[in-house]
Amino acid sequence: MTSSGDAQVTAGDADDPALEPGGEPGRGRTVAYVAVVALIGVLIGLLAWQLSSRDRGNAIPGEIAKGDRPETPDFTLPRLDGQGTLQLSSLRGKAVVVNFWASWCVPCRDEAPLLQQAWETYRDRGLVIVGVDSEDLTSDARAFVQRYGLTFPNVRDGEGSVKGRFGLVGYPETFFVDPEGRLVSHVPGPVEADTLERGIEAALAG
């Protein structure tokens, strides 16, 4: 028994270069089908990869809120003062406060003095504050650092490439990292003196 497609083969099909004499699909057509299927497969794979990598970042604040301690996403970014780069994982063994900010962000201006004060208070206990200036003009960011007299290390992420890995939804946001590199606390929005202190103590306690 033949399929209905085979049964419909007429004399005209003999002229079809895509069909071989026996009515079997030609090699060229098979290759074309495989290429189209492969292309669709690659596109679906890219979409899945994009969605899964986005979800990983988005999941971090939720995991911290549940009491989990997810591993801190690593990054290497140029320092705002132009003195090379800073890799977050190179600070392993120290408690770290990662603060995302931008010079155009009004609440960031309010919390900048608090962060500087915390840096001066806790640095002798092994705390490092890392400011990540995101989606900002370099000149504006440098002026911001100078205006608020920030002396802790600040790095620059003009493209905002790191924010997705932390699941950021706005500026400012602050993450507290223990000496083993695990996220122990997260403050979306501006920190206040008490939330900053609690986060730092949790990070130092490990």
Partner 1 sequence: MIRPRRLLLLAALLGTLVAAAPALASERNPTLQELEGEVMCPTCNSLLELSHSPVSDRIRAFILERIEAGDTKSEIKDALVAEFGTRVLAAPPTEGANVIVWVLPLVGALVAIVVIGLLLRRWSRSRPVGQRPLAAGDGVALDPELDRRLEDELRRFDS
Which is closer to partner 1, CB of 131 or CB of 199? 131
In this structure, are residues 75 and 162 in contact, taking their beta carbons and an 8 Å threshold?
Answer: yes
Q: Which helix (H) or strand (E) holds 145?
A: helix 138-147
Listed residue (180, 171, 188) closest to 132, CA to CA: 171
101: β partners: 133
Which is closer to partner 1, CB of 131 or CB of 181? 131
* Strand ranges inside the chain, DSSP E: 76-78, 85-87, 95-101, 127-134, 154-157, 173-177, 183-188
Which is closer to partner 1, CB of 30 or CB of 121? 30
Q: How many CB atoms lie within 10 A of CB 150?
A: 19
Shortest Å, Cβ 149 to partner 1: 22
Shortest Å, Cβ 20 to partner 1: 15
Which is closer to partner 1, CB of 156 or CB of 186? 156
Shortest Å, Cβ 100 to partner 1: 12
Shortest Å, Cβ 13 to partner 1: 6
Shortest Å, Cβ 187 to partner 1: 20
Shortest Å, Cβ 166 to partner 1: 16
Which is closer to partner 1, CB of 129 or CB of 155? 155
Which is closer to partner 1, CB of 43 or CB of 193? 43
How is residue 64 written in tokens? Answer: 């911290």
- CA dist 205 and 165 (Å) reads 25
Evaluate the CA torsion angle 113, 197, 192, 172 in order and state its sign.
positive
Say whether 123 sits in a helix, a strand or coil. Answer: helix
**Binding region for partner 1 (CB under 8 A):** 5, 8-10, 12-13, 16, 18, 29, 32, 36, 39, 102-106, 135-138, 140, 158-161
